[in-house]
């Protein structure tokens, strides 16, 4: 599909976590609308495979979003190779599930580092370019930013953190003509979600959500709506759209979740012991791989 009139045509866009899932889908959508795309991620071979599918100009870099020096090095290389970035999508993220008391401290901390600290490092590396271009940063958050769920403490904490970080950054940069948006998304068909469904407690918790809240959306569907929001420099985007309504009942959600958990978790535990999942999906496993120097 072509988007001849897209304001993204000819602009440089950076996507973290671009090797698979939503990041891959967003890279494809941005490229189809005429953007030059820089793909960043931990899996070099997969990044190249994604890059080869893009219709427009692109380049890829293997880099860890928690590596300050590596991210700044790649930012300089992106500018040299593709031009000054005017769009940055902070999408890289990992998740783990299971009881907090049984979670591995290293794994739990890694979720916070990738999702929250990695988003801050991404912003720090690319803000000079965005300030120069009057650009736009989209922070990918989650329904978990609004309502925390049991058995997902690290993920929920990190997504609440990126929401607050993006809102703070938006206010700080408003007078400097840089837009900052927050993407609130629900279940998206990625390897992380498919892996989560292999664990009975996480599968059951999702199945106990209201029917609209448990639906899984194709990554391409979510990417199309997020890229449309980028074109409009939206301060927030909700996929599906009904997620916006959760902001109105946000204060009521913690006691409701607590009441549900008080009765349902013991019942679930009686049939299937809870266990820590470790990092979910192939992307999660890549996040635990030893860090290598930034490569392109």
The answer to whether residues 116 and 222 touch, using CB atoms and an 8 Å cutoff, is: no
Distance CA 96, CA 195 (A): 10
Q: What is the pLDDT at residue 67?
A: 98
Q: What is the pLDDT at residue 4?
A: 57
Q: Which long-range contacts (CB under 8 A, 24 or more apart) does 261-268 make?
A: 261/150, 264/208, 265/150, 268/200, 268/201, 268/204, 268/205
* Predicted confidence (pLDDT) per residue in 209-229, tens digit: 777 778 889 999 999 999 999
Beta-bridged to residue 139, according to DSSP, are 90, 182
- Residue 155 among the catalytic residues: yes
Q: Active site residue: 126, 136, 155, 199, which one?
A: 155
pTM beyond 0.85: yes
**Nearest Cα to 19, choosing from 62, 57, 82?**
62
Q: What is the pLDDT at residue 53?
A: 96
b/e map of 95-107 (b: 16 or more CB within 10 Å)?
bbbbbeeebeeeb
What is the mean pLDDT for each group of 10 consecutive residues in the chain (296 residues)?
77 97 97 98 96 97 98 98 98 93 94 98 98 98 91 95 98 97 92 76 74 85 98 97 93 90 85 84 75 63
Q: What is the pLDDT at residue 212?
A: 76
Q: Residue 34: phi, psi to the nearest 5?
A: 100, 5
DSSP-derived secondary structure for the chain: ---TT-TTTT-EEEEESTTSHHHHHHHHHHHHTT-EEEEEES-HHHHHHHHHH-SS-EEEEE--TT-HHHHHHHHHHHHHHH--EEEEEE-----EES-GGGS-HHHHHHHHIIIIIHHHHHHHHHHHHHHHHT-EEEEE--GGGTS--TT-HHHHHHHHHHHHHHHHHHHHHGGGT-EEEEEEE--B-SHHHHHHTTSHHHHHHHHTS-HHHH--B-HHHHHHHHHHHHHTT-SEEEESGGGGGGGTTGGGHHHHHHHHHHHHHHHHHHHS-----EE-HHHHHHHTSPP---B-
Distance CA 281, CA 276 (A): 14
What separation, in Å, do the N-terminal and C-terminal C-alpha atoms of the chain show?
28
Q: What is the pLDDT at residue 296?
A: 56
Strand bridging mode 179-185 / 136-140:
parallel
The answer to whether residues 22 and 224 touch, using CB atoms and an 8 Å cutoff, is: no
């Amino acid at each position: 599909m072509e988007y001849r009139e897209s304001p993204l045509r000819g602009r440089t866009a950076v996507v973290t976590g671009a090797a698979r899932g939503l990041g891959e889908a967003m890279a494809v959508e941005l490229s189809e609308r005429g953007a030059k795309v820089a793909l960043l991620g931990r899996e070099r071979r997969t990044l190249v495979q994604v890059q080869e599918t893009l219709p427009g100009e692109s380049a890829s870099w293997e880099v860890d979003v928690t590596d300050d020096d590596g991210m700044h090095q790649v930012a300089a290389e992106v500018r040299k190779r593709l031009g000054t970035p005017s769009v940055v999508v902070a999408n890289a993220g990992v998740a783990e599930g299971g009881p907090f008391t049984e979670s591995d401290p290293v794994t739990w901390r890694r979720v916070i580092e990738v999702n929250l600290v990695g988003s801050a490092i991404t912003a720090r590396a690319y803000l000079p370019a965005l300030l120069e271009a009057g650009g736009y940063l989209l922070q990918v958050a989650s329904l978990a930013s609004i309502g925390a769920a049991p058995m997902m403490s690290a993920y929920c904490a990190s997504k609440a953190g990126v929401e607050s970080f993006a809102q703070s950054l938006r206010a700080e940069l408003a007078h400097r003509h840089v837009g900052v948006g927050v993407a609130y998304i629900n279940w998206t068909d990625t390897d992380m979600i498919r892996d989560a469904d292999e664990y009975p407690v996480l599968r059951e918790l999702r199945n106990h959500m209201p029917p609209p809240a448990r639906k899984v959306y194709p990554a391409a569907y979510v990417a199309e709506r997020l890229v449309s929001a980028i074109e409009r420099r939206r301060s927030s985007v909700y996929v599906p759209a009904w997620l916006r309504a959760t902001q109105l009942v946000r204060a009521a959600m913690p006691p409701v979740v607590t009441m549900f958990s008080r009765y349902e978790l013991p019942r679930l535990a009686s049939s299937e012991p809870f266990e820590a999942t470790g990092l979910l999906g192939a992307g999660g496993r890549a996040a635990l791989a030893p860090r290598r120097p930034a490569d392109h």
